[in-house]
Amino acid sequence: MASSTTSGDRPATGPIPGAAARARQSDVVIGLTGAGIGALTTVMGPYLSFRPNRIVDGLSQTALEAFGPLGWLALALWALSGLVALTRPRAWTGAARAALGSSAVLTLLAAAGADAASFAAAQGAAARTSFGASFYLALLAAFLVSYSASAETPGRLGRAVIALFPVIALVALAATGALAELGIVREWMLTRTTFVRELRRHLFYALGATGGAIALGIPMGVLSARSRHAETAIMGSLNLGQVFPALAFVGIMMPILGALGDRFATVRALGISGIGWAPVFVVLLVYALFPVTRNTLVAIRQIDPAVLDTARGMGMSRWRSLFEVEMPLAFPVVLAGVRIALVQSTAGAILAAFVGGGGLGTIMFFGLEQTSMDLVLVGVLPIVALALVFDAGLRVVERMAGGSEESYA
């Protein structure tokens, strides 16, 4: 077919007609949606539930019912952020909206901490104050407000402040002890020692599998890019591994690794056996290999052949060309693969708990056995937080390395 780009379709001046107006409109719509959801969560739905102990059903309240004036304050903050979204954007409006949204959530959080403290004082140590659906929706609302505010803010510094302010404020709030009587914090305090141990093991799985995937996947990717036969064999088997259901995969690996351990002393010496960490680790490694290998392969394939031709023409050897030309050019895309592998392994490491391999999933199971959602969250929230931090951190590195925003996400 003829060329698919239509240079004549648009006026050459400016990027896409109306793009700025559309982006602006999108900021307003998302900002208003966030403020609206935030306001609704304040007046409707269960925000906090108070139970005398873990087992008993407790009393659920909306934010307004639970907090009175502070609830009204939060409502006002949400409404204000909506109003600011409607005004003409200036240098400060984005930051203001983000601050208003975050403040609303932080106000409710502090109020919840205070309520939890007085409830605990009245009911004793077994009392649990937990968040309900409205609280989580309020978090979503704050995210939407910050997201659109960030898009409206020009400078990189301003955007960093918008992203970090709520985190820092939350840490500061927690440091004052204002949140200590909330159910989730209490459960965390009770399981602190276990928590640290399981967090370490969780990181071992996530980072170990990703490290292994980097060490093995990049050479495999390079090899695949060089030879069609290697590509068929490597990508074919990795693709097959992706399809295996995780739990069944682990289950199948257990007897295989067990047999290997029984047969070979060196394997046994590495601590590899049919139970414990090894089966889960191997499965996570196979899953993690796919994005790293695929991205390496794709990254090298998409390098302009003219560049490689010139490198060769100037007398570079194959290895020199690989290390001085191909790898640097491929780096951002490979890094995106590593990021995907790391996020995937962080979430996937929860699997270890199914086979007694430890990790934060163990705490989730404790919570499930004891029907304590707060304890489940003590296990789950750090997993999500870790994944998000890894994701955001590596994205920053990618951008510095010159990768595009959505490279093979």
- Within 353-382, the residues that bind other proteins by CB under 8 A are 354-356, 361, 364-365, 367-368, 371, 373, 376-377, 379-380
Question: Minimum Å distance from CB 12 to other proteins?
Answer: 3
Residue 308 is inside which H or E element, if any?
helix 305-313
Site pattern 197..226 for other proteins (x: CB under 8 A): ------------------------------
Question: Minimum Å distance from CB 320 to other proteins?
Answer: 27
Is 252 a binding residue for other proteins by CB under 8 A? The answer is yes
Is 266 a binding residue for other proteins by CB under 8 A? The answer is no
Q: Which is nearer to other proteins, 241 or 312 (CB)?
A: 241
Binding span for other proteins by CB under 8 A among 62-70, 173-181, 254-262, 321-329:
254-262
A 10 A CB-CB count for 82 gives: 22
User: Judged by CB under 8 A, which of 102, 107, 344, 362 binds other proteins?
Assistant: 344
In terms of Cβ atoms closer than 10 Å to its own Cβ (0-12, 13-18, 19+), residue 13 is exposed
Cβ–Cβ < 8 Å for 46, 64: no
Is 348 a binding residue for other proteins by CB under 8 A? The answer is yes
Residue among 307, 348, 353, 341 nearest 326 (CA): 307
User: Judged by CB under 8 A, which of 30, 66, 75, 111 binds other proteins?
Assistant: 30
Q: What are phi and psi of 71, to 5 degrees?
A: -65, -45
CA distances from 11 to 7, 19, 149, 402 (A): 8, 13, 30, 29
Question: Minimum Å distance from CB 125 to other proteins?
Answer: 21
Is 22 a binding residue for other proteins by CB under 8 A? The answer is yes
Residue among 87, 89, 88, 94 nearest 157 (CA): 94
Is 396 a binding residue for other proteins by CB under 8 A? The answer is no
Q: Which is nearer to other proteins, 75 or 105 (CB)?
A: 105
User: Judged by CB under 8 A, which of 283, 297, 311, 352 binds other proteins?
Assistant: 297
Binding span for other proteins by CB under 8 A among 64-72, 114-122, 202-210, 231-239:
231-239
Q: Which is nearer to other proteins, 70 or 278 (CB)?
A: 278
d(CA 175, CA 182): 14
User: Judged by CB under 8 A, which of 84, 141, 214, 298 binds other proteins?
Assistant: 298
d(CA 381, CA 373): 11
User: Judged by CB under 8 A, which of 236, 271, 328, 393 binds other proteins?
Assistant: 236
CA distances from 113 to 109, 128, 134, 192, 219 (A): 6, 11, 16, 20, 52
Q: What are phi and psi of 275, to 5 degrees?
A: -125, 175
Is 384 a binding residue for other proteins by CB under 8 A? The answer is yes
Q: Mapping DSSP to helix (H, G, I), strand (E, B) and coil, where does residue 60 land?
A: strand
Binding span for other proteins by CB under 8 A among 23-31, 37-45, 112-120, 202-210:
23-31
Is 294 a binding residue for other proteins by CB under 8 A? The answer is yes
Cβ–Cβ < 8 Å for 285, 264: no
